[in-house]
A and B are shown apart, each in its own frame.
Chain A
Amino acid sequence: MNAGPTPRWRRYLGFIRPNVPADVDDELAFHIQSRIERNIALGLTPEDARREAIVRFGDVDEVRAALVRHDERQQATERRAEYVADCAQDLRFGWRALRRTPAFTLAATITLALGIGANTAIFSVLDAVVLKPLPYAQPDRLVTLGQGSSGEYLGLRDRLRTITDLAEWDPTTDPVDDGRDALRLTGVAVTANLMPLLGARPFMGRGFAPNDAVPGSGRVLMLSYATWRREFGGARDVIGRTVRLQGLPFTIIGVMPPSFRYPNAGVQYWRPYVIDTKNIGLMWGVGGKEFVGRLAPNATLDQARREVRAVWPSLRSANPIWDPGPEYRRDATVTPLKADVVGASAPLLWMLFGATLLVLLIACVNVANLLLARATARERELAVRAALGGGRARLMRQLVTEGLLLAVIGAAAGVALAVLTVHALVVGVPTGLPRADEIVVNGTALAFALVVGVATAVVFSIVPAVRATSAAARASGSMLGRRATASKSHARASAWLVGGEIALAVMLVVGSLLLVRSFAALRSISPGFDPAHVIAARISAPAATYAPGSDRLAAFYADVLDRTRAMPGVRHAALVDQLSLAAPVWAQAIRVQGQFEDVTHTLPLIEHLQTVSPDYFATVGIRMLRGRSFSDDDRAGQPPVAVVSQSVARRFWPAGDALGKRIGYPFDSPWITIVGIVPDTKQDSLRDTSTATMYLPWSQRTTMVGSELWLVARTTGDPAAAGAAIRRIVHDIDRGVPVSDVRTMRDVVSSSVASARFTMALVTVFALVALALGAVGIFGVMSYAVSERRQEMGLRMALGASAGGVVRLVVGRALRLAAMGTVAGIACALVATRPLDRWLYGVSPVDPATFAAVPIVFAVVALLASYLPARRAARASPADAMRDAGVRSAG
């Protein structure tokens, strides 16, 4: 009973798995056969011998079934245990292998983390802002019709069939005084049906009822959840409390749930919009009210558009005193509410997402490259293990486990990075990103980036493993000999990967340089006034106490101006109704004497109208080109006067002198004489090209602008220091007047380009990451190449090559690699940066200077990244190289 070798076919079967039924059959057959043979030896006939043997054995089938059942269960348990043990061993071994090469592990982990983190963060923002449906009932049926007047609203509401319900809201904001200090809350006036239309119910209290919105009532308001918590301490008894709005008492009737943020998260209260239907004629043409509606169940967007375009122009016939012409609103459109809310953020976020996809791709390429280089370095180890009987599957599993371990570590770091980045983005985005408060780290994005990262790590662990193990099988005899073919193809693969990585990085760098140049161009634009040493503050005198046109209002602002001018360090102070570059400055249609006098025809539009006090031009640093500024004598009752900017003068009086010419409001009113001409200034933004501005003295216009004005002051020293004093001055005069938005003009100008700066900064960060990864890639490939060719280098030096020559050889190779990548990248960038156009100012998306700079940037990167490996190559002494070669051939 000596245990000999198993038959060959059995071994083969066992390679797949032990054949349990066959084994059981073998064992039982052996027993019965042996018994039969003994019985025959004892003299029985073969038939009797068989019968006796089976009788002795008992129920063969039952025993066989029991044994098979038992053995199969046993097998499964053993396989499971073995698998778990192998995995644990793989993990331990993988962890040790990663620890042995900390530089590789760190580089791969950071790379993966950057790729996964950046991609997840931006996708999270994209999803929350652009992709996720709005938090209202059936949000895809909600539409906006743009702006109009209340008269038009009523007409549209009653006539449209494709839109079942239409609500109106007024975006002007009013200060709220809750009886303590002046409290400034931003709110909107909405028709009572707005909340039911959106499918929202109050969190607490009641919503608006139809009779809240009839003239004489409407003194109620609803708070946003955030405001209720922050300003009213989340008190339950807030319902029924009275606050003052424009000096009038309003009763709080309800609180909306946290998810309700229409029209945006900045809204702190809603009050009913009261439409005076008796005097509706007066409300025609007073536009600026927003219309939002819900599509009828069977109506399509196109049907709604057609109907609105037909109905809207017909409304004008309902109103005899206001006729904007037959073409009025022929171009009216219906926009899905989400597109309206998301607006310009969508293309920006898609662009940024594209940039992070590039980063993720580069990261994956980099990890792949690192894994390849590492696998090449370990080829011998793998060959030895394969030769010593490590099965191919087992070896591959080992390598894949290592890749997975790496991916998991990198992914964990990536998740942490994503969480931090999303937080930073939410805090750091310039105002204007809609739905910013809905942004959270997105599970889908995370899963996507994780899958990509992990797949990269796994695939690029398997590829070298397959190669290494098959190479080992081929060369098991001469495994310590020169590893020629596999290394060469690895090196080629690495070069391709690094070339691709550089091409991707080139696209990001081109984009970033374009945005940087564009931003510089934007910042170099002069606003037309001098923002240095100017401070601005919004002073919200409540209309109830300070009625527009009242003496009390005039006295209040005169007092504010006097006290501000008396402050030490203040040189000029003035008032303006709409601050330049803070928010859009509205346009005004005018009559022009001798040119456009007929009010029933379309009148020319002056892009911006500012109502200012006499010292305004000196305060903000606008010099007079001709004529005079306003003076205190330009009072109500005196001849009306105006100052216009250069392009207004040129437009209407191209040949002659605009001074002394007369213009007027677009209705029957006295002519206004132009007394001065000033340069054009930027009003809406630094990119503004429509800069024609008309200035009118406030004292002649107090009835036509609100009671809220901006105070601007020019100081000798730091303007920011005057802020607190201005607040104190207003508070001393009337503590019921809120002061807000106290900002230096420099800050206002800088904020107006905040989103351009944000875009530029983000893309630049991505480009820098891409550059760094590209450098790591070049460094890795060159280091590996140098270590592979140590012998050759030593030989060259022994044959008289100078150290400089060797350095040039290595650096030259890196430069060639970078050059190929750059050429490919530039070719892609010529197409890929086209969509950037909308964010560029004064720079073409195919800006020659930028495209010329990129090769220089990458040449420098290639130089820096290959210099260290080149130095190492040059230091390889001929003797070392020879010894190394000797060891190899001896082995």
Chain B
Amino acid sequence: MPTSRDPGDLLQGTLRILILKSLLLGPAHGYAISRWIEDTTGDVLRIEEGSLYPGLRRLQDRGLVSSEWGVSENNRRARYYTITRAGRALLRTEASIWLEYSRAVARVLRAEPSLA
């Protein structure tokens, strides 16, 4: 989170936003989430895919996502995650903080003297 000085927290906060945002499209399994992040960021924010699952468990423990077993497009058993009402509310709050933060950083970076 931006308010924290711990880079680990910052990373986790980022991961959380990414997961929750990906689930706005609808229920998805872990692989689909990682593919969505990959495609949307053009593979810039590459996350270690293994950390995705503990992250999902933490979100589930806090009631931000729920999960159930289903069958994938290619007919395989997969666990599907769905964003909850609480997850949407948190995403909205955190998204606005993130946007404000990045706008502020952008303003700083564009200010005189220019970097070039």
> Which A residues fall within an 8 A CB radius of B?
1-4, 6-7, 23, 26-28, 30-31, 33-35, 38, 56-60, 62-63, 66-67, 70-71, 74
Contacts and interface: CB of A to CB of B under 8 A. Distances in A.
A122 to B, nearest CB: 58
A629 B80 CA distance: 117
28 contacts: A1-B28, A1-B70, A1-B72, A1-B73, A1-B78, A3-B69, A3-B71, A4-B70, A6-B69, A6-B77, A23-B79, A26-B79, A27-B29, A27-B53, A27-B79, A30-B31, A30-B79, A31-B30, A31-B34, A33-B76, A34-B72, A35-B31, A57-B50, A58-B48, A58-B49, A58-B51, A63-B54, A70-B57
Given A3-B69, A7-B77, A57 B49 contact: yes
Nearest to B50: A58
Top 9 nearest A-B pairs (CB, nearest first) are A58-B50, A3-B70, A63-B50, A34-B31, A4-B71, A58-B48, A31-B31, A57-B50, A57-B49
Interface of B: 27-32, 34-35, 48-51, 53-54, 57, 61, 68-73, 76-80
Contacts of A27: 29-30, 53, 78-79
B59 to A, nearest CB: 12
B71 A30 contact: no
B54 A70 contact: yes
Q: Which of B69, B72, B79 has the most CB of A within 10 A?
A: B69
Contact of A63 (B31, B53, B78): B53
Contacts of A58: 48-51
Contacts of A6: 69, 77
A59 B50 contact: yes
Contacts of A33: 76
Contacts of A66: 54
A74 B67 CA distance: 13
A67 B53 contact: yes
A779 to B, nearest CB: 55
Main secondary structure of the interface of B (DSSP, over half): mixed
B76 A30 contact: yes
A74 B35 CA distance: 28
Contacts of A3: 68-71, 80
B70 A28 contact: no
Contacts of B30: 27, 30-31
A67 B56 CA distance: 10
Contacts of A70: 54, 57
A329 to B, nearest CB: 89
A173 B71 CA distance: 98
Contact of B49 (A1, A31, A62): A31
A1 B61 CA distance: 23
A60 B54 CA distance: 12
Nearest to B76: A30
B48 A57 contact: yes
B105 to A, nearest CB: 29
Contacts of A59: 50
A3 B80 CA distance: 9
B71 A2 contact: yes
B53 A28 contact: yes
Contacts of B80: 1, 3
